Amino acid sequence: MSCSTVKLTVMCSASGTNLQALIDAVAAGSIPNASIIKVVVNRKTAYAAKRAEQAGIPAEYFNLVNGRYHKAGEKDEAVLKTARAKYDADLAQRVLKDSPDMVVLAGWMHVFSEPFLKPLDAAGIPVINLHPALPGKYDGANAIQRAHEDFQAGRLENNKTGCMIHYVIAEVDRGEPILVEEVECREGETLEGLENRIHAVEHRIIVKATAQVATRLAATKTGRGRLEAKKRDN
C-alpha cells in the first residue's frame, strides 16, 4: 500500500534557513512521504524565495502594501484592519488553491487575522509556527533579543529561554505546543551567540515537528484512501 504524499506549503519572510532545513530534510527522507509544493514570501528581500527557486519549488511573493491593500505609511487603524482582513482572506485562497495538507510558518513575520485562519481550519489544514521562545514567553517579534535583554538584566526565569513549534491560533504564539526545547543563557554571551545557538535548535525542531504532524496526516490520508477504495469496491 503506497502512503499518500503529504503536501507542505511553507511561508517565510526572511533568509529561509529554516526553509532550507525543511528542504534538506524532505530530500533526505527525514520527513517521510512529504513534498514542499509551494513557498510563500511576503517580503521581496526574503532570500527564502531564492532557496525555493534553487530547490525547484514554486515561490510566490504576496505583500500587504505592495499588493495595494493599503498605502505605505497608512496610520488609520480602521483602514489597516480592513486591509489586513482582505489581504488575509485573499492569501488564504491563494494557499488553498494549492490544496496543501499542512502549512509551516518558517520565519513568517505577519500576524494572521481570522480571515486567513478560518478558511484553513474549515479545510482541515493545520498551520504550525516556529517561535524562538518558550510557551507563553516573548510572544511576537524579536523574542530572542528580548530574552537576551532580560537575561542580562537578571530577569530571565531560570536563566532559560528556548524555542518551540506550535499550532497557530488567533492569539499570537499561544497555540498548543508541538515540540519545545529549552536553551540556557550563558553569562557574557552576545545576542548573536545566543541567536546562533537558538537557530541551530530551530532547524532541528522545525524538521522534527513537521515530520511528526506530516506522519499523522499521512496516516489519515492513507486511511481515507483505503475507505474510499473500499467504498468503490463494494
Ligand X SMILES: NCC(=O)N[C@@H]1O[C@H](COP(=O)([O-])[O-])[C@@H](O)[C@H]1O
Ligand Y SMILES: Nc1nc2c(c(=O)[nH]1)N[C@@H](CN(C=O)c1ccc(C(=O)N[C@@H](CCC(=O)O)C(=O)O)cc1)CN2
Positions touching ligand X (CB under 6 A) are 12, 14-18, 48, 106-107, 130-132, 141, 143-144, 199, 202
Minimum distance from CB of 190 to ligand Y (Å)?
A: 22
Residue ranges in 144-183 that form contacts with ligand Y under rule CB under 6 A: 168, 170, 172-173, 175
Residue 174 amino acid letter: R
60: closest CA among 39, 90, 89, 37?
Answer: 39
Catalytic-role residue among 70, 131, 166, 199? 131
Minimum distance from CB of 84 to ligand Y (Å)?
A: 8
Do 135 and 164 form a contact (C-beta atoms < 8 A)?
A: yes
Active-site residue flag, 166? no
**For ligand Y, how many residues bind (rule: CB under 6 A)?**
15
Alpha carbon distances (Å) from 182 to 133, 149, 188, 211: 8, 17, 19, 20
Q: In what order do the strands lie in the sheet with 34-41?
A: 59-61, 34-41, 6-12, 102-105, 127-131, 160-167, 177-184
Q: Indicate the residue among 160 and 174 with the shorter CB distance to ligand Y.
A: 174
DSSP at 158: G
Minimum distance from CB of 29 to ligand Y (Å)?
A: 28
Catalytic amino acids?
131
List interacting residues with ligand Y (CB under 6 A).
105, 108-112, 129, 131, 140-141, 168, 170, 172-173, 175
